[in-house]
Chains A and B, each alone.
Chain A
Amino acid sequence: MREQYGQEKPLKGARIAGCLHMTIQTAVLIETLQELGAEVSWSSCNIFSTQDHAAAAIAEAGIPVYAWKGMNNEEFDWCIEQTIFAFEGGKPLNMILDDGGDLTNMVFDKFPELVAGIKGLSEETTTGVLRLKERERNGTLVMPAINVNDSVTKSKFDNKYGCKESAVDAIRRATDIMMAGKVAIVCGYGDVGKGTAASLRGAGARVIVTEIDPICALQAAMDGFEVKKLVPNVHRADIIITTTGNFNIVTEAAFRKMKDKAIVCNIGHFDNEIDMAWLNKAYG
């Protein structure tokens, strides 16, 4: 991209506020946007996803970046808000690059006066696209949006092959457990679920899939996975991982039936797939 477009500076004049996991890969995206002529400001779309060394490198390059690993929810909102007016001369953004829709929602709901000056937005992930579709239906989508998630070279690669690498990587780094022989339940068999199930199977885990969609359930079964309901089978699982993009997947009923030392985690965008609110209230 840089070779092809770097000379022309086709993004000259664009003031892009981005809200996407501040990792080293994202740092390269930011540099690319800048090399194409844009002014860029950045926040992370998850309180834990920032790699501080990546954020530091971006800051050192003089790009306004508001992100660090392990912030609280108020700091999270504060960071996103800072990016909106972080451009030269205090000018506001004129493009949105979002992952999950938190920046989009803040601009639309809290700074509606800025909307007229914004050319459009691009959205990275399934969850954010769902929010945009809802706005499109109820007439509150106030600018053109490009759904990047449903490019084939995004969802069929990042969501699938990405999770295939990073799901087991995360569980190993966090717990150092032996995967081979363990029973893992993967909730959901969309692109993320397919990658996650393959990741666990590749490490030798015995994988059970849960699904609500008959097509995905049949795919899972014919890919060789056991497809079962969560609650009646959760007592068998050493690892439970949610991949659905929906909420209230692992709730009290499942928690009470888990075996001792079960590992529970989520690889979907938001933290409501596992009912953490109940867990923290009852046992926090």
Chain B
Amino acid sequence: MEIKPQVDKYTIDGKDVIILAEGRLVNLGCATGHPSFVMSNSFTNQTLAQLELWQNHGNYENKVYVLPKHLDEMVASLHLAKIGVELEELTDAQAKYIGVPKNGPFKSDAYRY
């Protein structure tokens, strides 16, 4: 029985169960999905992926790739100012000490965050 759109009641063995959004993605069915700030991160990745494939498709085989880490770090960089984040910078000596380029990528591909 529909209580209101995307909220349905079923009665099983005399007990009621309330199903939201017919079992589909509840946050998009019953609310408005994720907030814009976090989706901006996702969609910046989408845009970079489209750019990369459009411009450099010759470099790719018919395989599944992830975006290189420097682009991942760029997506994060683009979002820092909005929430007032300040970044420290590595000195040359520090960069050498941990064996990464001074301006990134700062982690190996195996790093899991």
Interface residues of A (CB under 8 A from B): 1, 5, 10-11, 13-14, 16, 21, 23-26, 28-29, 32-33, 36, 38, 46-49, 51, 70, 95, 97, 119-122, 124, 129, 132-133, 136, 141-148, 150-154, 156-158, 161-163, 165-167, 169-171, 173-175, 241, 255-256, 258-274, 276, 279, 282-284
Contacts and interface: CB of A to CB of B under 8 A. Distances in A.
5 contacts: A28-B43, A141-B63, A262-B15, A264-B20, A274-B19
A153 B76 contact: yes
Interface of B: 5-7, 10-13, 15-36, 38-55, 57, 60-67, 71-72, 75-76, 78, 113
Contacts of B32: 23-24, 51, 166, 169
Contact of B24 (A1, A28, A47, A258): A47
Nearest to B60: A144
B59 to A, nearest CB: 9
A276 B17 CA distance: 12
Do most interface residues of chain A lie in helix, strand or loop, or is the interface mixed?
mixed
- The 7 lowest CB-CB distance pairs between A and B, nearest first, are A162-B34, A120-B53, A144-B60, A49-B28, A122-B49, A166-B27, A265-B20
A24 B36 contact: yes
A38 B50 CA distance: 10
A241 B30 CA distance: 14
Contact of B31 (A13, A38, A173, A255): A173
A10 B33 contact: no
B43 A32 contact: yes
Given A119-B54, A150-B66, A156-B113, 12 more contacts: A14-B54, A49-B33, A120-B60, A141-B62, A163-B34, A169-B27, A170-B29, A171-B30, A261-B16, A261-B18, A272-B23, A279-B17
